[in-house]
């Protein structure tokens, strides 16, 4: 009787099991692997945010007469351009469809498609700022725009589709790699790096535009180059994602694959999202809070010049303080959420701070540059508190198979604000150059955010979402 064969078989099986476990260890269970994946996709998103705020500090140049090197846009034109980011997402529901594509076709396909759209969008924007349209005007009934503004809006709208779908793709990516680990910290790091892109755009693009004869073309060229680098980075991530899926399949076997198929996305499951009160509270809080920050940043540079006497060359640096603060604080608050919990409480505190800052800007007390810096620092803390708790809270109330659609709906609702609010504020600033009216609007956004955060805190206690519980094991 040959006893060697069974013994060898057991040894081989044991070695195979250890090797399989090791493979998975090198993927999502490996800290090095998951953080490498995070840095790659976060870099892509950082480049996207840089391009999002590419022209935000350049309003004064864009609205200057063409004879003075500007593009001759009006305040309304600039406001419409700022809001055009979400036009396609909002009115053609592309972001909603993007979430469904993400849940049906996966991270890799959706990520490549969305990042490619971002590149196309920024290239169209370059055409807009580099071409002499000889005074041509785009007309649609009584609606008119300078042709340069119309082309820029088209590019920004296409870019907006890509950027927002990339955002939901990366949110699901992070959830895939970090669930059960440092989820809030990971999302905080991603947000921090995205804010670094915003900070760079707000701080550097005005001096860059004035540094050479290329003017506003130079920041757009730099943005396009960085975005192409981000696109290539996502291609690298796709390799890691394939290896992650392979390692999970190797460890969990066919049973896991069959379970995943049973748990795959179905259109009927969308009702589970729409009927969830916690989801709607988070979505509306996202709408109001982000409407009180991003549209404000698009007009903040000019506010610093007109209301706080900041020299034009340095005015963009003060709004640029806000993202820099979030770079440190968002991961820090993410650690707090992971280790301590209190997610709903963090959102409430951030909403209160947002309201206080905009109310102070509205009162226009202490009209000095140093005081504007203090207010922007406080706003930066608020802008770190809310996202660090908001985004990791979504996976607590929505199952993984629906997460892409859930993020897409939230981003869609957010885009309603990012589209319509800048247009509204642009008109208000044209009618009231003191900015009191616009700051009153932003204050109202903050106050409603406070009420929504209080309602979310109550609903968490009632439904047991676990928003106040820690994330890490």
Count of other CB atoms within 10 angstroms of residue 195:
25
Q: Which residue has the higher pLDDT, 213 or 218?
A: 218
Contacts of 92 (CB under 8 A, 6+ apart): none
pLDDT of residue 26: 44
Tens digit of each residue's pLDDT (9 = 90 or more) over 435-465: 899 999 999 999 999 999 999 999 999 988 8
Residue 467 dihedral angles phi and psi, to the nearest 5°: -65, -25
Angstrom CA distances, 316 to 102, 106, 310, stand at 36, 39, 9
The rounded mean pLDDT for the chain is 84
Question: What percent of the chain is modeled with pLDDT above 90?
Answer: 33
pLDDT of residue 134: 84
Listed as own residue / partner, the contacts of 245-252 with beta carbons closer than 8 Å and 24 or more positions apart are: 246/23, 247/23, 247/24, 247/26, 247/27, 247/28, 248/24, 248/27, 248/28, 250/20, 250/23, 250/24, 251/20, 251/21, 251/23, 251/24
Judged against a pLDDT cut of 50, whether residue 24 lies above it is answered with: no
Tens digit of each residue's pLDDT (9 = 90 or more) over 100-127: 888 888 899 999 999 999 999 999 999 9
Burial of 32 (0-12, 13-18, 19+ CB in 10 A): exposed
pLDDT of residue 11: 45
**22: confidence class by pLDDT, cuts 50, 70, 90:** very low
Tens digit of each residue's pLDDT (9 = 90 or more) over 292-337: 998 898 788 888 888 888 887 777 778 877 777 777 888 888 888 8
Q: Taking residues 271-286, what's their average pLDDT?
A: 92
Tens digit of each residue's pLDDT (9 = 90 or more) over 256-277: 444 443 345 566 677 888 889 9
Judged against a pLDDT cut of 70, whether residue 1 lies above it is answered with: no
Angstrom CA distances, 139 to 13, 142, 147, 149, 202, stand at 72, 7, 9, 12, 31
pTM of this structure: 0.74
Judged against a pLDDT cut of 80, whether residue 5 lies above it is answered with: no
Judged against a pLDDT cut of 80, whether residue 146 lies above it is answered with: yes
Task: Please give the class, per CATH, of domain 32-463.
Answer: mainly alpha
Q: Taking residues 132-161, what's their average pLDDT?
A: 90
Tens digit of each residue's pLDDT (9 = 90 or more) over 228-261: 999 999 999 999 888 888 776 766 654 444 444 3
Is the Cβ–Cβ distance between 417 and 287 less than 8 Å? yes
Query: Distance between CA 382 and CA 354 in Å, rounded?
Result: 6
Residue 137 dihedral angles phi and psi, to the nearest 5°: -125, 135
Please provide the DSSP assignment of 406-449 as one string. HHHHHHHHHHHHHHHHHHHHHHHHHH-TTSHHHHHHHHHHHHHH
Question: Which residue in this structure is represented by tokens 């090791």?
Answer: 22
């Amino acid at each position: 009787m040959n006893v060697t064969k069974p013994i060898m078989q057991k040894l081989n099986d044991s070695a195979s099991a250890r090797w399989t476990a090791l493979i998975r260890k090198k993927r999502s269970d490996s800290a090095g692997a998951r953080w490498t994946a995070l840095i790659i996709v976060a870099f892509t998103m950082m480049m996207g945010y840089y391009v999002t705020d590419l022209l935000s500090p350049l309003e004064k140049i864009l609205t200057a007469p063409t004879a003075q090197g500007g593009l001759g846009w009006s305040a309304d034109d600039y406001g419409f351009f700022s809001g055009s980011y979400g036009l396609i997402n909002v009115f053609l529901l592309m972001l909603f469809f993007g979430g469904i594509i993400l849940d049906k076709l996966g991270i890799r396909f959706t990520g490549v498609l969305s990042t490619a759209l971002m590149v196309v969008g920024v290239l169209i924007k370059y055409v807009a700022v580099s071409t002499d349209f000889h005074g041509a005007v785009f007309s649609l009934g009584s609606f008119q725009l300078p042709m340069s503004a119309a082309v820029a809006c088209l590019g920004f709208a296409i870019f907006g589709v890509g950027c927002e779908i990339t955002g939901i793709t990366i949110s699901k990516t992070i959830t895939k790699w970090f669930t059960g680990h440092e989820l809030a910290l990971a999302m905080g790091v991603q947000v921090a790096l995205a804010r670094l892109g915003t900070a760079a755009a707000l701080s550097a693009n005005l001096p860059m535009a004035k540094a050479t004869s290329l003017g506003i073309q130079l920041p757009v060229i730099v943005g396009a180059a960085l975005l192409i680098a981000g696109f290539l980075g996502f291609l690298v991530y796709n390799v890691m994602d394939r290896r992650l899926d392979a390692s999970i399949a190797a460890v969990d076997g066919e049973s896991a694959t069959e379970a995943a198929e049973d748990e795959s996305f179905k259109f009927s499951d969308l009702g589970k999202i729409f009927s969830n009160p916690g989801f709607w509270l988070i979505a509306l809080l996202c709408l109001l809070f982000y409407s009180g920050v991003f549209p404000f940043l698009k007009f903040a540079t000019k506010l610093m010049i007109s209301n706080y006497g900041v020299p034009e060359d340095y005015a963009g640096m003060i709004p640029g303080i806000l993202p820099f603060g979030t770079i440190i604080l968002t991961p820090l608050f993410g650690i707090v959420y992971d280790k301590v919990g209190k997610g709903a409480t963090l959102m409430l505190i951030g909403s209160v701070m947002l309201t206080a800052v905009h109310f102070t800007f509205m009162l226009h007390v202490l009209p000095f540059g140093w005081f504007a810096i203090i207010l922007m620092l406080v706003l930066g803390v608020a802008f770190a508190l809310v996202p660090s708790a908001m985004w990791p809270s979504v996976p607590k109330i929505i199952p993984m198979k629906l997460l892409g659609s859930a993020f897409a709906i939230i981003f869609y609702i957010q885009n309603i604000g990012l589209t319509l609010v800048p247009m509204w504020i642009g008109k208000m600033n044209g009618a009231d150059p003191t900015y009191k009216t616009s700051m009153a609007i932003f204050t109202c956004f903050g106050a409603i955010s406070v009420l929504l955060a209080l309602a979310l805190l109550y609903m968490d206690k009632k439904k047991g979402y676990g928003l106040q519980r820690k994330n890490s094991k």
